[in-house]
Amino acid sequence: MNNWLLTIKGLKTYFFTRWGVVKAVDDIDLRLGRGETLGLVGESGCGKSVTALSILQLVPRPRGRIVGGEIIFQGKNILELLDEQMRSIRGREIGMIFQEPMTSLNPVFNIGSQVLEALCAHKKFTKKEAKSKVIELLTSVGMPDAGKRIKDYPHQLSGGMRQRVMIAMSLAGDPTLLIADEPTTALDVTIQAQILALLQRLRQQRGLAMILITHDLGVIAQTADNVAVMYAGKVVEYTAVVTLFADPKHPYTVGLLSSVSERRPITGNVPNLLEEISGCPFHPRCPSVMKICRKQMPPFFALADGHQARCWLYG
Ligand SMILES: Nc1ncnc2c1ncn2[C@@H]1O[C@H](COP(=O)(O)OP(=O)(O)OP(=O)(O)O)[C@@H](O)[C@H]1O
Ligand code: SF4
Ligand SMILES: [Mg+2]
């Protein structure tokens, strides 16, 4: 028995499309301790959201399917649970902030009733109790004048305020783990900083563990304890956040970091996941490519202190 809150082993989530099989998540391993924040980073299309949806078992069916692996949450493989058991874990034990706030908030209901619905999905309240709970929850995520704002509709709120409502809804069941998918991407820089500060505060107050998904390394630097870098459906580097910035090992991570610091984008494009790439999926873009890279997929090589990289340079 270990202390991990969440352990993912060999997870594979594929989409069976008419053009072929998209291996969106292809054999990834991840782990997360209680109260820890794990950053999940990588370019668009590398499988970050599909990883999150897989944990919650919300991968769009029938096209998308988890075809392999285990997701152990609080000691149980949740992939073996019945739909009904999984429903009670969603929201109550694992909260989620989705990538598109406007698709998760219903435009025709006021925010008070939407937060109420999220609260009542987990616990029964009297009408009076419920109203004060909604106000309390919205206040706790920094919604000023929450008593009045509950009558507002999503379109009447700023992007930052909408994101606070989304966060409130994700916390309604008092989860142990919060998965936040690009929680600040649509926001301008000042509001972004406020939302990140809010997430940090909630994390400390509630002892929340968090998976924070972003393509923004700045967000990772500010919030994460450990980081998993994803590329083409695979985790290619895993380490403590400090090490990632001080001593990145995988050429893709090095490329991501210099694309920010030197404003020099990595040359080439992310691979089309419908096409089988032999060897290391980064080889067509890698400045350190070697002969073996084109032929054989590198395994994870252990470096110092839990630092791992999927790259032949360390074999
Ligand atoms: N419903 C779907 N049907 C077919 N393919 C899908 C579907 N959803 C995602 N994919 C594919 O799975 C891969 C991973 O997508 P995912 O949404 O996880 O990327 P992401 O890392 O979250 O990217 P972004 O930073 O743009 O949000 C992509 O190649 C995408 O095209
Ligand atoms: S395995 Fe080879 S191609 Fe892949 S990242 Fe490492 S050096 Fe580059
Ligand atoms: Mg995404």
CATH code for the part of the protein at 4-93+175-314: 3.40.50.300
Integer-rounded Cα radius of gyration of the chain = 20
- pLDDT tens string, the chain, 315 residues long: the values are 457 999 999 999 999 999 999 999 999 999 999 999 999 999 999 999 999 999 999 999 999 999 999 999 999 999 999 999 999 899 889 999 987 766 678 989 999 999 999 888 878 888 788 899 999 999 999 999 999 999 999 999 998 899 899 999 999 989 999 999 998 887 888 888 899 999 999 999 999 999 999 988 999 999 999 999 999 999 999 999 999 999 999 999 999 999 888 888 888 888 888 888 899 999 999 999 999 999 999 999 999 888 999 999 998
Task: Give me the residue spans of the domains in the chain.
Answer: 4-93+175-314
Judge contact between 134 and 119, C-beta under 8 A.
Answer: yes
Q: How far is the CA of 86 from the centre of ligand 1 (A)?
A: 23
Report the 10 Å Cβ neighbour count for 20: 13
- In one letter, which amino acid is 44? S
Candidates 12, 15, 98: which one to mutate for ligand 1, based on the most atoms within 8 Å of Cβ?
A: 15
What's the confidence (pLDDT) of residue 260? Answer: 84
Question: How far is Cα 248 from Cα 253, in angstroms, rounded to an integer?
Answer: 6
Candidates 280, 301, 310: which one to mutate for ligand 2, based on the most atoms within 8 Å of Cβ?
A: 280
Q: Indicate whether residue 62 lines ligand 1 (CB < 6 A).
A: no
For 274-283, b where at least 16 C-beta lie within 10 A, e where not — what string?
A: eeeeebbbbb
What is the per-residue DSSP string for 28-88? Answer: EEEEEETT-EEEEE-STTSSHHHHHHHHHT-PPTTTEEEEEEEEEETTEEGGGS-HHHHHH
Q: Which amino acid residue places its CA nearest to atom 12 of ligand 1?
A: 24
Q: Ligand 1, residue 53: give the atom nearest the CA.
A: 18
What's the confidence (pLDDT) of residue 275? Answer: 84
**Residues in CB range of 266: below 8 A, 6 or more apart:** 252, 255, 256, 259, 285
Q: Which amino acid residue places its CA nearest to atom 26 of ligand 1?
A: 44
Q: How far is the CA of 240 from the centre of ligand 2 (A)?
A: 21
Q: What is the pTM of this model?
A: 0.94
